[in-house]
Structure 1
Amino acid sequence: MSESIVSSKETVPRLSSLFSRAYLFGTLMLGGGIMLHAVETYITATLMPSIVRDIGGLPLFAWATTIYVAASVLGSTFVAVRPERVTLNHCYRAGALLFGIGSLVCAIAPSMETVLIGRAIQGLGAGFLVALGYAFIRHVYPEPLWSTASTLYAAAWGIATFLGPTIGGIFAAGSAWREAFALLVPLSVLMAASAPKLLPPGDGERVTTKTPFLQIVLLVAAVVVLSFASSVTAPLLRGAFAAAAVLAMLATVAIERRAEGRLLPAGTISLGSPLARVYLIMLMLLVTICSDIYIPYFLQVLHGVSPLVSGYLVALLALGWTVAAFATAGLKGRRANRVIVAGALMEALATALLVVTLARHNPASGLVLLAVATLFIFLMGFGIGMGWAHLVTHVLHLAPAGETDKASAAITTMQALGAAFGAALAGIIVNSTGLVSPGGIEGALTAARWLYALLALPAALAILLALRLPAGKGDPAG
């Protein structure tokens, strides 16, 4: 399935190559798994108000996301540390089945507690599917198509950002949230049944180590505790939870450095490692981009935009990611590294400039100010999209021998951690700077200014890290 159809003289493989006869089914399966997870994420976000109105559980509202993200970390790490006889297509089948079971539990849930159980099972399956989208790249495609495939899978998120709210809105309008979850069940079963037939086994050489159980527990604990920190109102308690999350992360690093059973590839726990820098760049860019969770709120409160319009304006961020991913897919070597640096710079500047555009009181919805703010929202996504596929390709090239599966799964772990930490840090910042107290316009203005000023800093740090990336393969002379 990996016979190359890409000419050695072809410097920029075409996207259509992924849909040729040799790769079509692999592309549909892997892209479908990521799309299933991405679309469902936005569907659930749209449906949650309807779920709460129907079965209650408002105090547990935020946990529908937190428990999903925490479970996805577990799912992605299993792909890397799975038993030796378990192939990647076995993992795909298990992930699709878990996703379907979780969707069924949500569909029949009598209470919010049951919904959370379903979300945990869904998240576990989603962690499998997203990690496999990257882990399978080297098994399904020849090396010249790795970056192009990474671009396609990154673009799936952009498409999902438009599809998810639309589908969720249709079901939410008729209070048919149960049917929305039920619809995912037969699709998941179909994907699980097709995996052994349409995907290669994916049982390449691996370094088998003990399961890094303690590191996984500490990572999940850090995500959960930081989520608590973002939601509590008492400043001292918020600080205590945040400190506990930091300690859990430091303990994870300390244990990983000496453990026989590792969560990350060998040598990664060191800034001297190029692979470590790639992971940190991914994490920093994702933390910054997650400041977008409050954009709809600020658009509505400060700029008088309707909920529906605000939802589609923030979707421009994902559109920017998709457009940039396709625009820069053909770059190689030092050119790819330069675009990673440029993208991180663009994301940092666009986020910081929301301080003077989005964080302004514009009750008449003045088009000029709103248009400029919307442009910066688009450029936030464009910045991360410029370099993401190239960062994925770096991971595949830099992974130690026998640890490519572990390195690929760690991409998904970074995504989950970036989303969780970014959302939690955003919650801590806005709740500490006036969103709730004093609240109203004044509180929203102060919170927005602090949020985008502070969360531009991780992307700025990513610039410094990206300056030291290796040239990689292809056009080393730039």
Structure 2
Amino acid sequence: MFLTGFAALAVMPLLPVAARDLDGVGLYPLVAGAFVAASLLGGVLGGAWADSGGARRPLTAGVVLTVATLLVSATSTTIWQLALGRFTDGIAAGLVAVSVNAAIGQSYPDHLRARALSLMSACWIVPSLAGPPLAGFVAASWSWRVVFFGVAGFTLIPAAAAVLLLRGQPAQPGASRKSGSSETSVYRPALPATVAVSVAAALTQYGVSAWNAWHAACASVGVVLLVAFAPKLLPPRTWRAGGGLPATVLLRALTSGAFFTLEAFVPLMLSTARHVPGVVTGFAFTGAALAWAGASWVQGRLQNRVPRHRLVAIGAAIMAAAVAVAALCTIPAVPPAAAVSSMAMAAVGMGLATPSLTLLSLAHTPADRQGYASGAMQTSQSLGQTLVLAVTSALFTAVSAASTSPLPAFAGAYVLLILPIASAACLAGRTRVADADQLDASGLSVATAEGQLR
């Protein structure tokens, strides 16, 4: 997880430089969206694999594939090769994320799972401090390719450990759990539907990057495919916020989509509309990563005091306040530093809500289907990021075309983000685990009701 965070925070800022170097700036939205689109596929594959044979094999495959795809990106001679590298890296990231969550659910005792997940979040602290400046220094001194090669070299160490140290251990899926979970029947998604949704996500993100017939056609095809196939990858009644796992999966989409869209637009506003130095934008990302890790640490120690669904509602409320602060920064008289603080505030909300939602997803899922639950959460997160970002970008592009100042477009984007966050706060009660209050009052963790995860 440490190297996953380092790779993400080091590589992402360099993608525009790589696209410019490869004469492919026009296809940059496809390169940026390929990772998220492919993580859908990786998450579903990893979840099914973890359920059938344990988390060891998909984790091994994920870290080995990560090394290979970083080398593909490092040796890119065209923008299409870079897009292919990012797409396959997304598959690897989906495998690793779901495998880690499933491994914690299958291996750790109930009272340690929340703390294990907070440790996973803490693994991002050092990468958030060192990743972006170190990658920028290396790219400026040598080349962006050296960053990809370097990250691949570092990742080779855990890849070798996964292959050599884990190959002799038996691959066992989670033990069957006696009935009593709120989700007694779980369906596995079909691979064709997963591929269709991954392609649709990439098409949608590419389509909203400009206003012309070609981009409109791509966006339309992407939306049609998402409407047709996305429900097949999620638990029944997800879009209706059915109680238990469906509502938990839906809230992951709403909160993740809102946060990562805010994380995309605040730096853009700081750079283009408020004209702040690049170092200020870097502080925004660093502060957000530290705030997320700190809030995750706090939630790991509140499991016996505050029910998980209430932590989700509190996190959503904090995120709503953060979006309001970002919207205020579209007023020229408000200092740009307030926008930086909005990212940290939103990260606090995510640090409380995200681990709680994962723990709730396992609490609603039998032990032998926790890989599926992790895959559904990963799929929901990717879909939420794709859809919320696409709708917000479309509004932003339309308002920008009709206004001489970029600030009204940013204001409209922030106001739109209130909708998914408010929905998450209102629906948090539907994720509640039965008798969670009684369990908390008796000193037992919410996990005792039927499992947990990130």
What is the CA deviation profile of residues 242-274 of structure 1, one whole-angstrom value per residue up to 9, with x for unaligned ones?
5544433332255x3xxxxxx445776753231
What is the match of residue 233 of structure 1?
211
What is the CA deviation profile of residues 408-431 of structure 1, one whole-angstrom value per residue up to 9, with x for unaligned ones?
122222232233333323322211
Count of paired positions: 427
Task: State the shift of 1:136 in Å.
Answer: 0.7
Check the 8 A contact 2:241/2:430 in 1, yes or no. no
Equivalent residues in 2 for 1:1-20 (5 A)?
Answer: none
Q: Does residue 430 of structure 2 align to residue 468 of structure 1?
A: yes
CA 1:403–1:313 in structure 2 vs 1: closer, same or farther (change >3 Å)?
same
Higher mean C-alpha displacement, 387-396 vs 326-335: 326-335
Check the 8 A contact 1:222/1:249 in 2, yes or no. yes
Gaps of 5+ in 1: 1-33, 257-262, 363-367
In 2, Cα distance between equivalents of 1:399 and 1:474: 19
Equivalent residues in 2 for 1:319-468 (5 A)?
Answer: 319-332=290-303, 334-356=306-328, 358-361=329-332, 369-434=335-400, 437=401, 442-468=404-430
Task: State the shift of 1:58 in Å.
Answer: 1.2
Check the 8 A contact 1:150/1:393 in 2, yes or no. no
Q: TM-score, with normalisation over the residues of structure 1? A: 0.81
What is the CA deviation profile of residues 15-49 of structure 1, one whole-angstrom value per residue up to 9, with x for unaligned ones?
xxxxxxxxxxxxxxxxxxx3333322222222123
What is the CA deviation profile of residues 314-358 of structure 1, one whole-angstrom value per residue up to 9, with x for unaligned ones?
4322322222111222223653322221110110122033212x2
| Letter of the 2:226 counterpart | M
Gaps of 5+ in 2: 177-184, 442-454
Q: Does residue 284 of structure 2 align to residue 313 of structure 1?
A: yes
Check the 8 A contact 1:218/1:248 in 2, yes or no. yes
CA 1:237–1:63 in structure 2 vs 1: closer, same or farther (change >3 Å)?
closer
What is the match of residue 114 of structure 1?
81
Task: State the shift of 1:83 in Å.
Answer: 9.0
In 2, Cα distance between equivalents of 1:84 and 1:344: 31
Task: State the shift of 1:104 in Å.
Answer: 0.9
What is the match of residue 182 of structure 2?
none
Task: State the shift of 1:160 in Å.
Answer: 3.4
| Letter of the 1:447 counterpart | A
Equivalent residues in 2 for 1:72-87 (5 A)?
Answer: 72-82=39-49, 86-87=53-54
Check the 8 A contact 2:118/2:355 in 1, yes or no. yes
Equivalent residues in 2 for 1:298-309 (5 A)?
Answer: 298-309=269-280
SS in 2 for 1:354: helix
| Letter of the 2:229 counterpart | T
Please, what is the CA RMSD of the aligned residues?
Answer: 2.8
| Letter of the 2:331 counterpart | R
Check the 8 A contact 2:49/2:55 in 1, yes or no. no
Task: State the shift of 1:86 in Å.
Answer: 4.5
SS in 2 for 1:468: helix
Check the 8 A contact 1:265/1:403 in 2, yes or no. no
Equivalent residues in 2 for 1:180-195 (5 A)?
Answer: 180-195=147-162
CA 1:332–1:177 in structure 2 vs 1: closer, same or farther (change >3 Å)?
same
Within the candidate set 203, 209, 228, 1:251 is matched to 228
Task: State the shift of 1:158 in Å.
Answer: 5.0
Task: State the shift of 1:449 in Å.
Answer: 0.5
Check the 8 A contact 2:243/2:431 in 1, yes or no. no
What is the match of residue 20 of structure 1?
none
In 2, Cα distance between equivalents of 1:36 and 1:360: 39
CA 1:138–1:82 in structure 2 vs 1: closer, same or farther (change >3 Å)?
closer
Equivalent residues in 2 for 1:112-191 (5 A)?
Answer: 112-191=79-158
Check the 8 A contact 1:84/1:208 in 2, yes or no. no
What is the match of residue 27 of structure 1?
none
Check the 8 A contact 1:75/1:125 in 2, yes or no. yes
| Letter of the 1:226 counterpart | T
Check the 8 A contact 2:47/2:371 in 1, yes or no. yes
Task: State the shift of 1:289 in Å.
Answer: 0.7
Task: State the shift of 1:454 in Å.
Answer: 0.4
In 1, Cα distance between equivalents of 2:236 and 2:408: 44
Check the 8 A contact 1:302/1:361 in 2, yes or no. no
Check the 8 A contact 1:81/1:209 in 2, yes or no. no
CA 1:284–1:429 in structure 2 vs 1: closer, same or farther (change >3 Å)?
same
CA 1:314–1:82 in structure 2 vs 1: closer, same or farther (change >3 Å)?
closer
Check the 8 A contact 2:312/2:352 in 1, yes or no. yes
Task: State the shift of 1:233 in Å.
Answer: 1.4
In 1, Cα distance between equivalents of 2:13 and 2:337: 25
Q: Percent identity?
A: 25
CA 1:397–1:433 in structure 2 vs 1: closer, same or farther (change >3 Å)?
same
What is the CA deviation profile of residues 112-143 of structure 1, one whole-angstrom value per residue up to 9, with x for unaligned ones?
22112222222211111111121110233111
Within the candidate set 64, 67, 77, 2:34 is matched to 67
What is the match of residue 204 of structure 1?
174
In 2, Cα distance between equivalents of 1:112 and 1:477: 53
Within the candidate set 207, 212, 219, 2:197 is matched to 219
